[in-house]
C-alpha cells in the first residue's frame, strides 16, 4: 500500500468578516493557494491528477467550487475536481480523501485544501420560487443556516459551546484565559515572523493605499486581556460563559496542500514536509459536537499506536474556547504543545478553509520548532470530528 506524504502547504492570511478579503470570492482565494502550493512543491500543474477542495457556504458560488479553483489555478482541464462539505473539517477531510486515493493506487499526486468567504454568503428566501400569496416572509442568512446552525436541535452552534462547558466544568475564567493566550501566542508568532512562510500574499487595491499585499492575519489582538474579555456579556445564555471574545471569529480565507505518494515524491526529487501517519473520524450526539475531537483523537492515536505522550504539537480548532478547554483537559494535552501559535479565537475560522489551515500551521510549526509528530483535530457541525497525525521529515 502506498504511503501518503505532504510536500507543500500554504494559506492566505485570514481576513476579518466584512474586511480586507470581503471583496474576493472564495474560489479565487482557493485558486491562489492551489497555484502557490503547486509552485512550492516544485511541480508543474500537469503533475496534479485531481483537485479536492473544502467549501461549506456554497450557495451562490456556482457549480463545483473546487473545479473553479482548479481551473483558476491553471490545473489541466482534463483532471477531475470535487468539492467537500464536511463543515469545519472540510479542508482536512480533503487531505484524508487524497490519502485514501493514494493508498488505493488511484492517484499519485493531488491538490487539496479549503476555501471560504463568510463575508459573501448570500441571503435566501425559501418558497420564493413559486411565489407568496400573503403575509410577511423571512430572509434566511445562509452563513448562519448552512454554517453555524445545529440543524438537529434547531439552535445556533454557540449553544453547543455552552453545553460542552457544562458537561466538562469549564468556567468563564477558563475560557477567557485560553482566549487571551490564543491572542498573545498568535501576536508573538506574527511579530516573530512565524506565519510568514505559510502565508501567500493576496494582492489588494485601496483608494488611499493603492496596490498592496495582504499578508497578515487580521483578527489578532495583541492587547487582549482578562480584564477586557471579562467585560463582555454572554451571547447565548444569560448565565452562560460563551462571549464574542472567547469564540472563533467569522472570517475569510483559503489554504492548500499537495499530497502525493512517497514513490511519486522520490521519483520527482521532492522533499516531503511530513508523512501522513494516521487519520480518522468519530461522532457524538449533534448537540455534543464540541467534544467530538476527544474520541476522534483517541481513535487516531490508537490507530497510530501512540498516546498523547508521543505527540509533540497538538492543534485543535478553537471553535469555542470552552471546547478547547474540554479537549485539552480530557486528553491531558500539555500547555506547551497546545496551539503553540494561537488558534481560531485569534486567527479566525473561515469554516471550509480551517481544516487545511490548521494542518498548514501545524506543518510549519513542526519545522520551526524541529519537532517530529503533530496532531490536528477539528469538530464538525452535526456531531463529527476529524483528526490526522503527521510526522515531520
Which of the four pLDDT bands, split at 50, 70 and 90, describes residue 379?
very high
Q: How far apart are CA 56 and CA 249, in angstroms?
A: 16
183-211 average pLDDT score: 96
- 177 phi, psi to nearest 5 deg: -65, -45
Q: Is the pTM of this model over 0.85?
A: yes
pLDDT at 225 over 90: yes
Helix axes 65-72, 26-40, angle to 10 degrees: 50
pLDDT at 8: 99
Which of the four pLDDT bands, split at 50, 70 and 90, describes residue 388?
very high
Q: Which residues form the catalytic set?
A: 88, 349, 379
Beta carbons within 8 Å of 374's beta carbon, 6+ residues apart: 274, 311, 312, 313, 314, 315, 362, 363, 365, 366, 389, 390, 391, 392
Which of the four pLDDT bands, split at 50, 70 and 90, describes residue 103?
very high
Which of the four pLDDT bands, split at 50, 70 and 90, describes residue 376?
very high
Q: How far apart are CA 197 and CA 332, in angstroms?
A: 30
pLDDT at 135: 86
pLDDT at 133: 83
Q: How far apart are CA 112 and CA 23, in angstroms?
A: 24
Q: Render pLDDT for 136-162 as a digit per residue (tens, 0 to 9).
A: 899 999 999 999 999 999 999 999 999
Q: Render pLDDT for 7-57 as a digit per residue (tens, 0 to 9).
A: 999 999 999 999 999 999 999 999 999 999 999 999 999 999 999 999 999
pLDDT at 134: 86
Do the bridges between strand 210-214 and strand 202-206 make them parallel or antiparallel, or are there none, so unpaired?
antiparallel
- 11 phi, psi to nearest 5 deg: -155, 160
Which of the four pLDDT bands, split at 50, 70 and 90, describes residue 374?
very high
Q: Render pLDDT for 236-262 as a digit per residue (tens, 0 to 9).
A: 999 999 999 999 999 999 999 999 999
Alpha carbon of 224 to those of 13, 187, 244, 348: distances in Å? 20, 10, 13, 15
pLDDT at 239: 94
pLDDT at 141: 97
The overall average pLDDT reported for the chain is 98
pLDDT at 348 over 90: yes
pLDDT at 209 over 90: no
What percentage of the chain carries pLDDT values higher than 70?
100
Q: Render pLDDT for 54-69 as a digit per residue (tens, 0 to 9).
A: 999 999 999 999 999 9
pLDDT at 360: 99
Q: Render pLDDT for 270-308 as a digit per residue (tens, 0 to 9).
A: 999 999 999 999 999 999 999 999 999 999 999 999 999
162, burial (CB in 10 Å: exposed 0-12, middle 13-18, buried 19+): buried
Give the domains, in start order, of the chain with CATH numbers. Answer: 4-120+250-387 (3.40.47.10)
Amino acid at each position: 500500500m502506498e504511503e501518503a506524504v505532504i510536500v507543500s502547504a500554504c494559506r492566505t492570511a485570514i481576513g476579518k468578516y466584512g474586511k480586507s478579503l470581503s471583496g474576493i470570492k472564495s474560489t479565487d482565494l482557493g485558486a491562489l493557494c492551489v497555484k502557490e502550493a503547486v509552485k512550492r512543491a516544485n511541480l508543474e500543474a500537469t503533475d496534479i491528477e485531481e483537485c479536492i477542495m473544502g467549501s461549506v457556504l456554497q450557495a451562490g458560488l456556482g457549480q463545483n467550487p473546487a473545479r473553479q479553483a482548479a481551473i483558476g489555478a491553471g490545473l489541466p482541464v482534463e483532471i477531475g475536481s470535487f468539492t467537500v462539505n464536511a463543515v469545519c473539517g472540510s479542508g482536512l477531510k480533503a487531505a484524508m480523501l487524497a490519502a485514501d486515493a493514494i493508498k488505493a493506487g488511484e492517484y499519485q499526486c493531488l491538490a487539496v485544501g479549503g476555501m471560504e468567504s463568510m463575508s459573501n454568503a448570500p441571503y435566501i428566501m425559501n418558497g420564493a420560487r413559486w411565489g407568496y400569496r400573503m403575509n410577511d416572509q423571512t430572509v434566511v442568512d445562509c452563513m448562519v443556516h448552512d454554517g453555524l446552525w445545529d440543524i438537529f436541535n434547531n439552535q445556533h452552534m454557540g449553544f453547543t459551546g455552552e453545553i460542552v462547558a457544562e458537561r466538562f466544568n469549564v468556567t468563564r475564567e477558563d475560557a477567557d484565559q485560553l482566549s487571551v493566550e490564543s491572542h498573545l501566542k498568535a501576536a508573538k508568532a506574527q511579530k516573530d515572523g512565524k506565519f510568514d512562510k505559510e502565508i501567500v500574499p493576496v494582492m489588494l487595491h485601496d483608494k488611499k493605499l493603492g496596490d498592496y499585499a495582504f499578508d497578515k492575519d487580521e483578527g489578532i489582538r495583541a492587547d487582549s486581556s482578562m480584564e477586557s474579555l471579562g467585560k463582555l456579556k454572554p451571547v447565548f445564555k444569560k448565565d452562560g460563559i460563551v462571549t464574542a471574545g472567547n469564540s472563533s471569529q467569522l472570517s475569510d480565507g483559503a489554504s492548500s496542500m499537495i499530497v502525493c505518494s512517497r514513490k511519486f515524491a522520490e521519483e520527482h526529487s521532492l522533499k516531503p514536509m511530513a508523512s501522513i501517519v494516521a487519520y480518522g473520524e468519530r461522532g457524538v450526539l449533534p448537540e455534543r459536537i464540541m467534544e467530538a475531537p476527544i474520541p476522534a483523537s483517541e481513535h487516531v492515536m490508537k490507530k497510530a499506536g501512540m498516546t498523547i505522550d508521543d505527540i509533540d504539537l497538538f492543534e485543535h480548532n478553537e471553535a469555542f474556547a470552552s471546547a478547547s478547554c474540554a479537549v485539552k483537559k480530557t486528553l491531558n494535552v500539555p500547555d506547551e504543545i497546545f496551539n503553540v501559535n494561537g488558534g481560531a479565537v485569534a486567527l479566525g475560522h473561515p469554516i471550509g478553509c480551517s481544516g487545511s489551515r490548521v494542518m498548514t500551521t501545524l506543518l510549519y510549526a513542526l519545522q520551526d520548532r524541529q519537532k517530529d509528530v503533530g496532531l490536528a483535530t477539528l469538530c464538525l457541525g452535526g456531531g463529527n470530528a476529524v483528526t490526522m497525525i503527521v510526522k515531520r521529515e
